[in-house]
Amino acid sequence: MLLSIAIHGYRSLRDVVLPLDRLNVVTGGNGSGKSSLYRAIQLLGSVAQGRVATALATEGGLNSTLWAGPEAFGRAVKQGDYPVQGTVRKERVSLKLGFASEDFGYAIDLGLPTSTETAFARDPEIKAEAVWYGEVLRPAALLAARNGPAVRLRQGRQMEVVQSDLAAYETLMSFAANKQTAPELIELRERMRAWRFYDHFRTDKEAPARWPQLGTRTPVLSNDGTDLAAAIQTIFEIGDREDFDAAIGEAFPGGSIEVRANEDGFFEVEMHQHGLLRSLRATELSDGTLRYLLLAAALLTPRPPPLMVLNEPETSLHQDLLKPLAHLILRASQHCQMIVVSHAAPLVNALTEAGAQKLELCKELGETIIPGIDAPRWEWPKR
123 with 188, same domain?
yes
Assess whether 305 and 188 both reside in one domain: no
166 and 190 together in one domain: yes
User: Does residue 30 fall inside a structural domain?
Assistant: no
Could you count the other beta carbons within 10 Å of the beta carbon of residue 377? 11
Residues with Cβ within 8 Å of residue 131, at least 6 apart in sequence: 104, 105, 106, 142, 143, 144, 145, 172, 184, 185, 188
- What pLDDT sits at residue 142? 95
Cα gap 188→103, rounded to integer Å: 10
Contact 5, 41 (CB under 8 A): yes
Residue 42 maps to a domain: no
Q: How far apart are CA 189 and CA 183, in angstroms?
A: 10
Q: What is the pLDDT of residues 74-113, one digit of tens each?
A: 444 444 334 444 444 556 678 999 999 999 999 999 998 8
39 inside domain: no
Mean pLDDT by 10 residues, the chain (383 residues): 96 95 96 94 92 81 75 43 45 88 95 78 87 94 94 91 90 77 87 95 95 96 96 97 97 96 94 90 96 98 98 95 98 98 97 97 93 93 92
> In terms of domains, do 177 and 60 share one?
yes
278 assigned to some structural domain: yes
In-domain check, residue 38: no
What are the residues whose beta carbons fall under 8 Å from the beta carbon of 353, sequence distance 6 or more? none
Does 203 lie in the same domain as 187? no
Whether 131 contacts 104, CB under 8 Å: yes
The answer as to whether 37 is a domain residue is no
Alpha carbon distance 247, 249 (integer Å): 5
Both 189 and 138 in one domain: the answer is yes
End-to-end CA distance of the chain: 28
Task: Judge if 82 and 205 occupy the same domain.
Answer: no
Nearest to 290 by CA among 224, 233, 340, 339: 224
Distance (Å, whole) CA 358 – CA 19 = 10
Helix axes of 34-48 and 183-193: crossing angle, nearest 10 degrees? 140
Could you tell me if residue 311 is inside a domain? yes
Domain count, the chain: 2
Shared domain for 354 and 214, answered yes or no, is yes
- Same domain? For 171 and 207 the reply is no
Sheet with 95-101, edge to edge strand ranges: 13-19, 2-10, 95-101, 104-111, 125-133, 142-147, 150-155, 158-163
- Report the b/e string of 23-38 with b at 16+ CB within 10 A: bbbbbbeeebbbbbbb
Does residue 13 sit within a domain?
yes
Q: According to the model, what pLDDT value does residue 327 have?
A: 98
Q: Which of 123, 138, 124 is nearest to 95 (CA)?
A: 124
Structural domain boundaries, residue 258? 196-361
Q: How far apart are CA 230 and CA 235, in angstroms?
A: 9
For residue 214, what is the domain's CATH number? 3.40.50.300
Q: What is the DSSP letter of 279?
A: P
DSSP letter at 241 equals H
Same domain, 225 and 180: no
Rounded distance between C-alpha atoms, residue 229 and residue 221, angstroms: 10
Specify whether 178 is located in the same domain as 232. no
- The strand pairing partners of 359, in sequence order, are 26
Q: 163 and 237 in one domain?
A: no
- Per-residue pLDDT tens over the stretch 133-148: 999 999 999 999 999 9
> In the beta sheet, which residues pair with residue 244?
none
pLDDT at res. 177 = 67
pTM score of the predicted model: 0.91
